[in-house]
Structure formats: structure tokens, C-alpha cells
Amino acid sequence: MIWTRYAPALLLPAGIQALPTSNTTRHDYDYGHGYEHLPELPSTNSYHTVPDNGTVLNITKTSPNLSPGLIFLTLNSIEPTAEHQQGPYILTSAGDLVWSGGDFQASNLRVQELNGESVLTYWKSTSSDGGGYGEVVVLNSALEEVASVCPDIDVVTKQGSNTTCVADVHESYITERGTMLLTIYNITTTNLTSVGGPASGWVYDCLAAEVSLSTNEILWSWSALEHVPLTASKLSLGTHGQNSSDPWSWFHMNSLQPFRGDVFVNSRETWGSYYVSRQNGSILWSIDGASSGANFSWQHHARLHSTPNPNHLVLTYFADNNDLPTTSTPSVALTLLLTPSSPPTLLSSLHDPVDPIASFAEGSHQPLDGSGAFVGYGTALVIKEFNTQGEVLYSADFGYRDLRRLAESYRAFKNEWHAVPSTRIALVVSGEKAFVSWDGATDVDSFLVFAGNGTRAVGRVLRRGFETGFEIPGGCGDLLVRGVVGGRVVGMSGVVKVG
């Protein structure tokens, strides 16, 4: 369906046959005389066609039984002076770059459904101090922006943040109604006497807000401060909350999920999750890691899952279990069974015994279809895939080597995703070599190479990793390439002079 916008006949010059459009594999084509295989150059992680230096996955364990899909992560510098590229990335499990989305602070890159179509969503910072304020970008499978969500709401932001949008970094969940659930933080004053603070103290209130993708209007919102007592917080007040420059971050809302018409809210600092009535905001039920007997703390990415029994729910968390970089309790991908009127039962608590990771913030736990889990360790730049038995199938760390501990990926996901960008294919000529890439194209298997202003076919190269290099055949005054997916031409470059 997504290929239909490209008509091969429009892209191929007269007299040159379109490739077969059947379900042949990449090696089956009869390319004829026009498509001789050109000598390819070995692939590398430093590119001629894009400024990106590549995000290198240091894969320390892998398996032939990995679940299918691409890896989605965001690389952010924690240290503002770090000069390296940040941004959203898509990679293959083998570590090949698929998409480098640009050089900016991003988080929570993932695939979601909008009106029945797969879209990419990510949060993008719009704040001059790089703090947690921004917008949520929605891209279609041509990588065109279909929405940029900037909630229409009045909140008080951190001094100096100078932001144009106040969507918070933590959650951007598209609902079945085609709206988005967002976290929003508001600096407000409240009575802190119950926790030993001033009667007019300062806190971050955390709002769960449902926002219209087309108008940015707030359709529904829920305030943690209105519904959860400050005494639930496990984060000590310390010297915070005395003034509006240093509000006490007592709740730290970090995940939201629309579930059966209501909203599931997670708080890092109360170690709690709350199932909130969308009708009237009341907390229908809650669970916490201290008193429920479920033994988790500082957790992220709370997700409810239905089971065949309508009264039984499965709850997954990334349980950081650490609040500070100085502690080293292993973080786990936790799965609990919730049944009416009995304490939660532990179904699994995944961690890698030979490589236990202690994350003090962020992280994600994505149960994979059928089996296993894909886990992102947040402030520890590590991703792991586990099978149903809890064995580690895959482990990789990433981020620029000299930035370890100065960088993070808020969450990481493995998803099926197919994109044909509406952008031109990038083609660069360097002496007798040419380099071609198409940032974000997921399924290109080969490139056809043309000379004579795109009219004379001179050969083809199989796509290799992110960027494919080849030796330019003699007699070409210029080059143009066309990208092929499953036998169809789906895009082209501009004409580039040779020599």
C-alpha cells in the first residue's frame, strides 16, 4: 500500500524495463544488460552522504533467534557541553544505522498507530536550557510530519527554560481516539507542612493531559497534586520546595497509558501506579512497590496488559530500583499478575546475571509479541533482549564511547517499521567512487545506477548497511540512482556530476 505513491513508469526513463514486481528475493532478478553488478566498497560507520558519525552498537551478545524488528532509541547528552550529535535513531539489531533523525534533544522514539496507520513519534526539546519541555513530532511512513503536538495549556515552567512548548519529555501515547496522552509539569505552590516543609512551599505538580493532535486543545487533564497525598512520596524533601526556583519534584509522573477507557499513571517518586477514572479523576485502584509486597522502586514504563481472564491483568515495569548513580541494585524488567483481592504475584523479574545493570533513572520494558522482552536501561546506555525463559539473547551498549555516563536513552524499543521517505536519495561523488544512502528507508535492497542525466542504465549495487559505496564505471559524466524495494523503483537521487 505504501508503495503506490511511486509509479515506476514515471521514474524509469523510456526504453528501460521496470524490474519484476513479484515477491522475488533480492538475488532472483534478471537485471539484463542494463543492470550489471558494479564493484561495491566495504561498508563503514563514517558516512559521506550525511554528517552523522553513526551510533555504534557494541554488540556483546546476539542470537539467531532474535525477535524481528528494528531498534528505536534516542541519544541525549546529559552534559550540555558534550559536542556529539544527539537525536532519534533507528538501527538494525546488527548495528546498521537505518535513520538518523537529526541533531537535537529527543526522547521516546517509537512506533504507534494513528487512524490505523503506523507512525513514528518522538519528543523534541524546544527549551533553551535543554530541560524537559518540548513538542511531540508525529511522522508518517514517508517520514513526513503529520502532527507536531504543542499542548495549549498555561503552566509555570522552570526559570530560564524559555520554551515555546510544554509537552514533557516522559510520555506521548496516541489513544484509539487519535488523541495523545501527555505528561505536563507545572510549578505551583502548596502547603508542605505534612512533609516538614513550609506552609507555602513549591512543588512540581504533574498533569496527565489528553491533547487534540489537530488543535493542541486539552481535552482532559488530571493533576497528581489534587489526588495523591504528598506523604506518598519516597523522595525526601531535603532543602527543596523553599522557593519557586527549586520546587520539590515529589511525584515525577513518567508514564501514562490509556486502558479500557481510563488512564494508568505511573509515579517514580511514590513508587506507585494509579488507575484513574477518566470520568471523574478518582483513583479506581493503585499499586505501589513498598506496601503491596511487589518489591520495586523508582520504576518506569508501567504498562497494563489484558489476559484471557477479564479479571486478571498483567502489569509490566522497568524497575530501576536505584535513585542515585552511586547505588548498584540491579534494575529489572518486572512482570506481575494482578488479581482481585490478592497481592500481586511475581511472574518474572528479568536481569542479566553476568552483566547486571543498575539504572538510576529512565528505562523501558517492552514485552515482545509471543515471547520475551526488549529492555532499555535508560541512564545506562545498554539494551538487552530476553527470551521467554529469561535468557539473554542480545546485549549491546551504545553511545559515543567518551560520553559513557554523560549520555542517556530515555527508552528503547524494538518494532516492525517500514518507511519509504519522500526525500531524495543522497548521492555523493568522490573521485572515482560514489556513495549512496537514503536516510530512513527501511527496505531498499538495491540501487540502480544511471548516467546521461538519468537516461542510460549503467549498473546496480546491492544496498549495504546505511551507506553503499561503489566504483563509478568509466564513461559516466554524471550519475543518478534509483532505489529498489522488492523489484519496484520507489525513489531517486538528483543528478550529480562526475569529475
How many CB atoms within 10 Å of residue 436? 25
Q: Which of 79, 157, 84, 76 is nearest to 124 (CA)?
A: 76
Q: Which of 115, 277, 291, 388 binds ligand NAG (CB under 6 A)?
A: 277
Query: Whole-angstrom Cα distance, residue 245 to residue 272?
Result: 26
Judged by CB under 6 A, does residue 156 bind ligand NAG? yes
Distances (CA, A) of 53 to 47, 79, 327: 7, 19, 33
Residue 295 or 329 with smaller CB distance to ligand NAG = 295
Task: Tell me which residue has its CB nearest to ligand NAG.
Answer: 277
Please say whether the beta carbons of 264 and 257 come within 8 A. Answer: yes
Query: Whole-angstrom Cα distance, residue 345 to residue 367?
Result: 17
Judged by CB under 6 A, does residue 11 bind ligand NAG? no
Query: Whole-angstrom Cα distance, residue 379 to residue 372?
Result: 22
Distances (CA, A) of 362 to 15, 151, 252, 256, 359: 56, 23, 11, 14, 7
**Which stretch, 143-151, 156-164, 172-180, 424-432, contacts ligand NAG (CB under 6 A)?**
156-164
For the chain, report the end-to-end CA distance as a whole number of angstroms.
Answer: 40
Phi and psi for 226 in degrees, rounded to 5?
A: -75, -20
Query: In Å, how far from its chain's centre is CA 81?
Result: 24
Residue 14 or 370 with smaller CB distance to ligand NAG = 14
Question: Binding mask 45-84 vs ligand NAG (x if CB under 6 A, - otherwise)?
Answer: ------xxx----x-x-----------------------x
Q: Which of 215, 231, 280, 311 binds ligand NAG (CB under 6 A)?
A: 280
Q: Which of 367, 370, 355 is nearest to 60 (CA)?
A: 355
**Which stretch, 4-12, 64-72, 235-243, 368-376, contacts ligand NAG (CB under 6 A)?**
235-243
Cβ of residue 114: shortest distance to ligand NAG, in angstroms? 26
Q: Which residues pair with 134 in a beta bridge?
A: 125, 167
Judged by CB under 6 A, does residue 406 bind ligand NAG? no
Please say whether the beta carbons of 208 and 194 come within 8 A. Answer: no
**Per rule CB under 6 A, count of chain residues that contact ligand NAG:** 40
Angle at 239 between CA 236 and CA 242, to 5 degrees: 115
Q: Which of 63, 65, 194, 327 binds ligand NAG (CB under 6 A)?
A: 194
Q: Which of 130, 157, 246, 304 binds ligand NAG (CB under 6 A)?
A: 246
Judged by CB under 6 A, does residue 85 bind ligand NAG? yes
Judged by CB under 6 A, does residue 44 bind ligand NAG? no
Judged by CB under 6 A, does residue 408 bind ligand NAG? no
Please say whether the beta carbons of 132 and 183 come within 8 A. Answer: no
Phi and psi for 491 in degrees, rounded to 5?
A: -175, 170
Judged by CB under 6 A, does residue 346 bind ligand NAG? yes
Judged by CB under 6 A, does residue 249 bind ligand NAG? no
What is Dmax (Cα atoms) for the chain?
83
Grid cell, residue 440, equals 530512513
Judged by CB under 6 A, does residue 92 bind ligand NAG? no
Distances (CA, A) of 237 to 26, 195, 210, 228, 488: 61, 7, 30, 16, 61
Cβ of residue 397: shortest distance to ligand NAG, in angstroms? 5
15 backbone φψ class: left, alpha, beta (φ>0; ψ -120 to 50): left
**Which stretch, 1-9, 31-39, 184-192, 421-429, contacts ligand NAG (CB under 6 A)?**
184-192
Residue 68 or 160 with smaller CB distance to ligand NAG = 160
Residue 121 or 205 with smaller CB distance to ligand NAG = 205
Residue 154 or 176 with smaller CB distance to ligand NAG = 154
**E strands within 213-358?**
218-223, 253-259, 262-267, 272-276, 283-288, 300-306, 313-319, 332-339, 342-350
Residue 102 or 473 with smaller CB distance to ligand NAG = 102
Judged by CB under 6 A, does residue 291 bind ligand NAG? no
Residue 37 or 177 with smaller CB distance to ligand NAG = 177
**Which stretch, 33-41, 242-250, 441-449, 485-493, contacts ligand NAG (CB under 6 A)?**
242-250
Query: Whole-angstrom Cα distance, residue 91 to residue 70?
Result: 6
Q: Which of 86, 93, 108, 186 binds ligand NAG (CB under 6 A)?
A: 186
Grid cell, residue 36, equals 550489471
Judged by CB under 6 A, does residue 339 bind ligand NAG? no
Judged by CB under 6 A, does residue 289 bind ligand NAG? no
**Which stretch, 29-37, 91-99, 238-246, 428-436, contacts ligand NAG (CB under 6 A)?**
238-246
Cβ of residue 280: shortest distance to ligand NAG, in angstroms? 4
Q: Which residues pair with 173 in a beta bridge?
A: 181
Query: In Å, how far from its chain's centre is CA 276?
Result: 26
Cβ of residue 239: shortest distance to ligand NAG, in angstroms? 4
Judged by CB under 6 A, does residue 294 bind ligand NAG? yes
Which residues here bind ligand NAG, judged by CB under 6 A?
A: 22-23, 51-53, 58, 60, 84-85, 128, 153-156, 162, 164, 186-188, 191, 193-194, 199, 239, 242-243, 245-246, 277, 279-280, 282, 293-295, 344, 346, 397, 401, 453
